[in-house]
């Protein structure tokens, strides 16, 4: 027997598995209807995974509509009134108002190449950014300064060739380059500008960026790809303190993510 809170647990389980879903709730019934207000069901993968709003053709239509809303891959809330007539294959004679809310569970991938002061501070803001943040570095963990915290809200990847990790990133990833080596920064950036990432950022001064532009051009990178790189990074360029830079960059990333919703699959 379903308990009143089971729908919450169903949503939590789907979120853990990152399976997009929609909550469908009967909010109003005029006349005769199959279920009372408050009846809920959860739709995922084109099928009913929890509850019911009464079965029959109304429920079938609601499942189909919820599935159509999930195709948008963005949070959506919508209210629809259904007259229970032959048009929906039911003849109760009343009207049911249904509320839809989708949960795409999409999170952006923020790839930070480097694991130094700013990278760690920015990684620590992952919960606030609601993003999957990964720090990628070629050093052994014991070599990284400052020492990495034992508990951290971001993923850490230690590999000999960080630049190769660029190819494995999703198309909508946000890329930041801030390693301990300018030569490695250039290698990673050369790979990154070949992709159509919505954000590519390089930490450093305008002087560093001027040198990098020349070197990218010498490698045959077209000007239109070079100009897509943001350097210096962040909304504010006033402070050189790692925490302040991280906050400024996080705000910039949040603006980019808000402008272009995450894509799935």
Per-residue pLDDT at 196 exceeds 70: yes
45-80 pLDDT, tens digit each: 999 999 999 888 999 999 999 999 999 888 899 999
User: pLDDT category, 265, cuts 50, 70, 90?
Assistant: very low
Q: What's the rounded Cα separation, in Å, for the pair 86 and 141?
A: 67
For residues 144 and 169, is the Cβ–Cβ distance under 8 A? Answer: no
Give the separation between CA 227 and CA 139, rounded to whole angstroms.
30
The model's confidence at residue 254, banded by pLDDT at 50, 70 and 90, is: very high
By the 8 A CB rule, do 55 and 34 touch? Answer: yes
Other CB atoms within 10 A of residue 220 CB: 7
**CA distance linking residue 187 with residue 165, whole number of Å:** 12
User: Residues 109, 110, 113, 115: what is their CA dihedral angle, to the nearest 10 degrees?
Assistant: -110
The model's pTM: 0.74
pLDDT higher for 144 or 32?
Answer: 144
Query: What domains are there in the chain, each with its CATH number?
Result: 6-103 (no CATH), 108-259 (3.40.50.720)
What is the average per-residue pLDDT within 180-205? 96
pLDDT greater than 60 at residue 88: no
Average pLDDT of the segment spanning 109-132: 96
Neighbouring CB atoms inside 10 A of 198's CB total 16
Tokens of 193: 């500008």
Q: Is 171 helix (H, G, I), strand (E, B) or coil?
A: coil
CA distance 78 to 200: 35
Mean pLDDT (the chain) is 92
| Residue 115: both structure tokens together | 């694991």
pLDDT at 32 over 90: no
Mean pLDDT of 198-220: 96
Length of the chain in residues, anyone?
Answer: 265
pLDDT of residue 190: 97
**Separation in Å, CA 240 to CA 135, 233, 243:** 20, 11, 9
Residue 263 clears pLDDT 80, i.e. is over it:
no
Q: 2 or 164, which is more confident?
A: 164
* Residue among 255, 126, 137 nearest 199 (CA): 255
Q: Residue 16's pLDDT is what?
A: 86
């Amino acid at each position: 027997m379903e308990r009143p809170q089971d729908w919450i647990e169903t949503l939590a389980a789907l979120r853990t598995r990152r399976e997009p879903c929609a909550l469908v709730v009967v909010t109003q019934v005029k006349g005769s209807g199959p279920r009372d207000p408050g009846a809920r069901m959860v739709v995922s993968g084109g099928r009913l995974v929890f509850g019911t709003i009464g079965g029959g053709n109304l429920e079938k239509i609601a499942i189909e509509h919820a599935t159509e809303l999930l195709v948008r891959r963005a949070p959506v809330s919508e209210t629809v009134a259904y007259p229970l007539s032959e048009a929906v294959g039911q003849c109760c004679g009343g009207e049911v108002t249904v509320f839809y809310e989708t949960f795409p569970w999409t999170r952006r991938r923020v790839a930070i190449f480097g694991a130094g002061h700013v990278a760690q501070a920015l990684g620590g803001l992952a919960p606030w950014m609601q993003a999957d943040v990964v720090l990628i570095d070629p050093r052994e963990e014991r070599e990284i300064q400052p020492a990495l915290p034992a508990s951290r809200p971001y993923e850490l990847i230690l590999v000999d060739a960080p630049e190769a990790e660029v190819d494995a990133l999703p198309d909508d990833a946000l890329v930041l380059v801030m390693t301990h080596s300018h030569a490695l920064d250039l290698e990673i950036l050369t790979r990154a500008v070949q992709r159509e990432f919505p954000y590519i950022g390089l930490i450093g001064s305008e002087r560093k960026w001027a040198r990098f532009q020349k070197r990218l051009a010498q490698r045959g990178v077209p000007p239109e790809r070079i100009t897509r790189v943001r350097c210096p990074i962040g909304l504010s360029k006033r402070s050189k303190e790692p925490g302040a830079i991280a906050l400024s960059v996080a705000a910039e990333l949040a603006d980019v993510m808000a402008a272009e919703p995450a894509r799935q699959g």
